[in-house]
Amino acid sequence: MGKGSFRLGCDIGGTFTDFVLLNDKTGELSINKCLTTPGDPSDAVEQGIRQMMNLVPGFVPELYEVIHGTTLVINAIIERKGARTGLITTKGFRDILELGREIRYDAYDIFSEYPPPLVPRQFCMEVDERIASDGRVIREIDAGDVKKVLEKMKAAGIESLAVSLINSYENPEHEIKIREIIEKQAPELSLSVSCDVLPQIREYERTCTTVTNAYVKPITVEYLEKLATRLGSMGFAGKLFIMLSSGSITSVETARKFPVRIIESGPTAAVIASQHYGRMLKIDDIFCFDMGGTTAKSCLIQKGQAGLVSTFEVGRVQRFKKGSGLPIQVPVVDLMEIGAGGGSIAKISKLGLLQVGPRSAGAVPGPVCYNHGGKDPTVTDADLALGYLDPDYFLGGAMKLNREAAFRAIEEKIAKPLGTSMLQAAFGIHDLINETMAAAAKTHIAEKGGNPNIVTVTAFGGAGPVHAYGLAKKINAPRILVPPLAGVGSALGFFTAPVAFDLVRSHRVGIDDSDFEAIETLFTELEKEASLILQNSGENQTIRYERSIEMRFVGQGAETNLPVKRTPFYKFTKSEVKGLFDETYIRLYGRTYPDTSIEFITFKVRAGLPLRPFHFPKLTVGTQSLAECIKGERSAFSLIKRKFISHTVFDRMKLFPGAVLEGPAIVEEKESTLIIGEDASGAVDEFGFILITFREK
């Protein structure tokens, strides 16, 4: 069968699983949402696709690509539902996971807790070997010693094995020998070796990342195989791609091998979509705001580019306290996440004050108004009580909301304890979650050297367009951009993501002592390795490479990332590289230290296939009359007047290019609802994007 006409994006969130079907020939987009099934996420995937088959009959045989984002990996870590994992490390380093960095994340909390390691100490075993920091072999490895440790692991019932030896990033010889022995003696074991997963400096982060990969690898392989089987049973014969935390997509084969790379699989897609829309509409500075049912994610995009970081944390004991989780050292889009979603639960704190989040009602039982057994009021219940949501048009009418139940829950759990009215309690919930998100947004933007007074807020997620107006006012952003199908923005963003993969290798050497020809060889080896990984993802396409180097002043504990041109590295002079480093350092920190020596730490390569075409279809609505776009009037709460006022309700699917929507207004589509206050107005462009601007005071 030749190449079909359809691509499908599928994003599994904490509350809903979203689907977007793209017809490449016509540009037509079809949408579906269903509740996530936490017990087995593939149940929701199959359910949603079968529902889509009713909307677009016969599309599956013409489906040549499915792009999937999943929360499976991060949930397995948080819920500790991974495989029984063992660790083989160098003699003397058995306690590496227990010791960590020996840094207290909260200096004033003497009772602060840390997440228990994914591998208990009794499953951490040593082999007698040693490699120096410059790669010299100090003590050869004994194959007999490795076999004895392997037998102990098998006797302990280990299902997955991680191997991380000291300084193996500089010389992987001993790890390769261990891998060969295990593959021969125990081929049934799932295996993750640090020289494959992360050949990078810092033994704790490297070991923790390798262990995490091993911990989730068996369940990821099982899930992806099950998913592929279920897709095949429905007639799918195309390629399955998985979203990476770095904002690119990769083949399912690579995701099976490196599941640690897909921990932040879904949330990054909205950021990649924002980048695409920024290029499309020539907007350089964007604050991407994606508010779903469980969390709110955001990212600052500057000069059309989102930042990447090389380390993040999962499974935090204190969810929003840095240092209280497990460090994962893989490329990831620089996201900020807070516990603020439509399902965030409102309660009275121990101090007698209103608190919203971070705990969420999730998909099960969900908000009270879902009528699925929820008892605690949530942000969605408050939004419904304030008139922002239509109880008869949630998900386009497919899911009725119980407004009276939401009223009762807010009254009993919030209003009465606070001695206030149900309306004021609902407004308090809505405004407090906006304030929480605004405070986090200001901090995030400031940390990146941005200015909230010039950014355009892009709103995604089922709850994003409801809260974007209030958030923008609090951070003093001048514009809000709400793309079409914002409620399924991540699933749609998959189509804008490149097929790419990032590789790193540490080699610590002072710039004055370095061999630039050897560095070029290192870069070339990384590029060859990356090209092999991409072979499963494209059909004889030209691969593009990007290079960068992490460098630092000698004695520093943190590195500065320096992008470099892809020319033979030996053509650079050492003074040129020093000059580039100083220029970058001054831009970031305001000064440099010309008399201090500089060293190379880590070399990076990103290999990617050409961007695949994705074009938003232009609006084809026949009407040019704003009156024909109006569904009616609805009384909803004004954040300015602090009372209910009449809002004009528009049907987004009927809006036409050039339409101007004067606030107060509510714009409804199946997947989300947009609120425009009375001090703002929205303009519709030829693709259906709504750009909201605030009137001058």
- Give residue limits of the domains in the chain: 6-76+221-262, 80-215, 268-324+446-496, 500-608, 626-694
- Is the fold of 6-76+221-262 the same as that of 500-608? no
pLDDT at 334: 87
Length of the chain: 697
Residue 287's beta-bridge partner residues?
Answer: 300, 457
pLDDT at 420: 95
Query: 323 by DSSP, 3-state: which?
Result: coil
pLDDT at 539: 59
Q: Residues near 380 by Cβ (< 8 Å), separated by ≥ 6?
A: 293, 342, 343, 367, 369, 389, 463
| Contact criterion met (CB below 8 Å) for 190 and 159 | yes
| Contact criterion met (CB below 8 Å) for 356 and 346 | yes
Structure tokens, 27:
């540009």
What is the bridge-based pairing of β-strands 336-338 and 312-314? Answer: unpaired
Global pTM value: 0.84
Q: Is the dihedral of CA 141, 145, 151, 154 positive or negative?
A: negative
pLDDT at 357: 79
Beta-carbon-side half-sphere exposure of residue 34 (alpha carbons within 13 Å)? 16
Q: Which amino acid, 587?
A: R
Q: Residues near 673 by Cβ (< 8 Å), separated by ≥ 6?
A: 388, 389, 390, 465, 466, 666, 667
pLDDT at 540: 62
CA-based nearest residue to 119, from 151, 89, 74:
89
CA distances from 510 to 276, 461, 551, 555 (A): 39, 47, 9, 11
| Contact criterion met (CB below 8 Å) for 649 and 664 | no
Angle between helices 403-410 and 422-447 (to 10 degrees): 80
Domain range 6-76+221-262, CATH class: alpha beta
| Contact criterion met (CB below 8 Å) for 487 and 653 | no
pLDDT at 319: 60
Determine which helix (DSSP H) or strand (DSSP E) holds 47, and give its type and residue range: helix 41-55
Sheet of strand 190-193, all strands in order from the earlier edge strand to the far edge: 124-127, 85-90, 160-164, 190-193
User: Can you tell me the distance from the alpha carbon of 320 to that of 176, in angstroms, rounded to the nearest whole number?
Assistant: 38
Beta-carbon-side half-sphere exposure of residue 124 (alpha carbons within 13 Å)? 21
The alpha-carbon radius of gyration of the chain (Å, integer) is 26
CA distances from 521 to 118, 172, 175, 603, 606 (A): 36, 17, 22, 11, 16
Domain range 268-324+446-496, CATH class: alpha beta
Q: Which amino acid, 593?
A: Y
Residues of the chain below pLDDT 50: 1-2
Q: Is the dihedral of CA 623, 625, 628, 629 positive or negative?
A: positive
| Contact criterion met (CB below 8 Å) for 233 and 225 | no
User: Can you tell me the distance from the alpha carbon of 623 to that of 641, in angstroms, rounded to the nearest whole number?
Assistant: 34
Phi, psi of 153 (to 5 degrees): -65, -45
pLDDT at 217: 96
Neighbours of 548 (CB within 10 A): 17
CA distances from 446 to 199, 440, 450, 451, 479 (A): 32, 10, 6, 7, 18
Q: Residues near 636 by Cβ (< 8 Å), separated by ≥ 6?
A: 386, 387, 388, 644, 645, 647, 664, 666, 675
End-to-end CA distance of the chain: 61
Determine which helix (DSSP H) or strand (DSSP E) holds 150, and give its type and residue range: helix 143-155
Tabulate helix, strand, coil % of the chain (nearest 5). 35, 25, 40
Domain range 500-608, CATH class: alpha beta
User: Can you tell me the distance from the alpha carbon of 429 to that of 433, in angstroms, rounded to the nearest whole number?
Assistant: 6
Q: What is the CATH number of domain 80-215?
A: 3.40.1360
User: Can you tell me the distance from the alpha carbon of 680 to that of 599, in angstroms, rounded to the nearest whole number?
Assistant: 52
User: Can you tell me the distance from the alpha carbon of 399 to that of 671, in angstroms, rounded to the nearest whole number?
Assistant: 11
CA-based nearest residue to 552, from 541, 562, 544, 564:
562
